[in-house]
């Protein structure tokens, strides 16, 4: 597997659509309809935040213009009963005040950069620091806290949204004006596809991802420790106490980090491994065996044995951050009216590696003028 260069990933946003308002039937309407927009709330400065509702192939998706947040994602269980499997809030005020990136697009750089510093082409940059001494998910006001322009589309048998945001030169300390487009598509098969695209006018670093908190038994239903997880990765990146990669690509064999054959998340979560103690569970980047690929390839499967719901993730990215909801502490109340406690959800973030700008041996996240950043992740659901 190549780890010393970046491959510019080919991927075009899927076109199409067949949609009904959230809460309709699981069947796509022939010919399709555009997503439905309703007012979700207003920010303190009066900016309106809209909720876009779309449905196709048995999957129902609710998306906010604030942060591109997946407010809800509903899929049926083995008996055909729907549940929202994504954590979130009922009000925009809660998202602004206390969201741990529920359902959001994160950027410019998903995950952590040590001390919020990196050097590019001989110039040192200091980023916004918002996670102890480090910069996390783009800084104090990253892409998750921006209002995106949303363009709905309905074409062929798919339905979706194109979300646009321009991050100006120097925003959160990052160089270059970055023009980003993230396309959410629901296919006729009910897959949720994310296509990321960005260009810049100055050399910069980019690592966009989605931060959905999954609980396939249903949001607010309790622990995900009985969920069965498979990750196609023979190595992971150990971290220091600040959850910054040490640079080592460690083997998962013989450790609690081995999910190659699949196992319940709770089986080894309290094994006492030094890495788990520091992270309070799992909060690490898995080095995917497939490396960087031209097209999305299957890398992970999550299954809830009670409901039968299954999530399969395919990506062209080289890494997957598995976070086991370690910092949910019972202080947040979700859309179900129930509180979220430690281990009540997990994240599976497709990505380049954390702190890659400071590790020459990691796949590069540098984007230069004239290049286009493109990457695709596909979520497929079963029961």
Active site residue 298: no
> CA of 209: how far to CAs of 65, 127, 267, 327, 358, in Å?
16, 19, 28, 20, 19
Taken in order 278, 280, 285, 288, is the CA torsion positive or negative?
positive
Distance separating alpha carbons of residues 246 and 359, to the nearest angstrom: 9
In SS3 terms, 258-272 reads as CCCCCEECCCCCCCC
Spot the catalytic one: 349, 352, 359, 379: 349
277 phi, psi to nearest 5 deg:
-65, -45
190 phi, psi to nearest 5 deg:
90, 5
H runs (alpha helix) in 13-172: 92-98
Q: Tell the burial category of 110 from Cβ atoms under 10 Å away from its Cβ (0-12, 13-18, 19+).
A: buried
Active site residue 297: no
Residue 17 has a CB neighbour count (10 Å cut-off) of 28
Q: What is the DSSP letter of 90?
A: S
Distance separating alpha carbons of residues 200 and 169, to the nearest angstrom: 9
Which residue bears the tokens 């979220």? 340
Spot the catalytic one: 137, 211, 352, 359: 211
The catalytic site residues sit at 211, 349
């Amino acid at each position: 597997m190549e780890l010393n260069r970046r491959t510019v990933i080919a991927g075009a946003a899927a076109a199409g659509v067949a949609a009904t308002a959230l809460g309709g039937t699981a069947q796509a309407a022939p010919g399709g309809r555009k997503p439905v927009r309703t007012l979700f709330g207003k920010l303190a400065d009066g900016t309106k935040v809209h909720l876009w509702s779309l449905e196709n192939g048995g999957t129902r998706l609710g998306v906010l213009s604030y942060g591109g947040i997946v407010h809800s994602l509903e899929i049926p269980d083995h008996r055909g009963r729907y549940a929202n499997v994504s954590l979130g809030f009922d009000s925009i005020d809660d998202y602004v005040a206390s969201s741990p990136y529920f359902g959001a697009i994160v950027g410019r750089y998903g995950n952590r950069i040590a001390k919020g510093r990196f050097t590019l082409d001989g110039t040192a940059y200091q980023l916004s620091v918002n996670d102890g001494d480090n910069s996390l998910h783009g800084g104090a006001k990253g892409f998750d806290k921006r209002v995106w322009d949303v363009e709905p589309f309905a074409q062929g048998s798919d339905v979706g949204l194109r979300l646009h945001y321009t991050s100006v030169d120097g925003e959160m300390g990052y160089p270059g004006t970055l023009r980003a487009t993230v396309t959410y598509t629901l296919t006729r098969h009910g897959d949720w596809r994310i296509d990321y695209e960005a260009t810049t006018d100055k050399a910069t670093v980019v690592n966009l991802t989605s931060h959905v908190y999954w609980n396939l038994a249903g949001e607010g239903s309790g622990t995900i420790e009985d969920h069965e997880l498979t990750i196609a990765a023979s190595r992971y990146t150990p971290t220091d106490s600040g959850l910054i990669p040490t640079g080592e690509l460690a083997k998962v064999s013989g450790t609690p980090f081995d999910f190659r054959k699949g196992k319940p998340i709770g089986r080894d979560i309290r094994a006492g491994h030094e890495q788990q103690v520091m992270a309070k569970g799992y909060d690490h980047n898995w080095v995917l065996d497939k490396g960087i690929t031209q097209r999305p390839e299957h890398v992970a499967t999550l299954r809830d044995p009670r409901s039968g719901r299954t999530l399969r993730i395919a990506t062209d990215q080289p890494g997957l951050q598995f976070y086991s909801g370690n910092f949910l502490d019972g202080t947040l109340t979700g859309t179900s009216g129930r509180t979220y406690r430690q281990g009540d959800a997990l994240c599976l973030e497709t990505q380049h590696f954390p702190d890659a700008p400071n590790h020459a041996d990691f796949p590069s996240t540098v984007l230069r003028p004239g290049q286009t950043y493109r990457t695709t992740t596909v979520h497929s659901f079963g029961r």
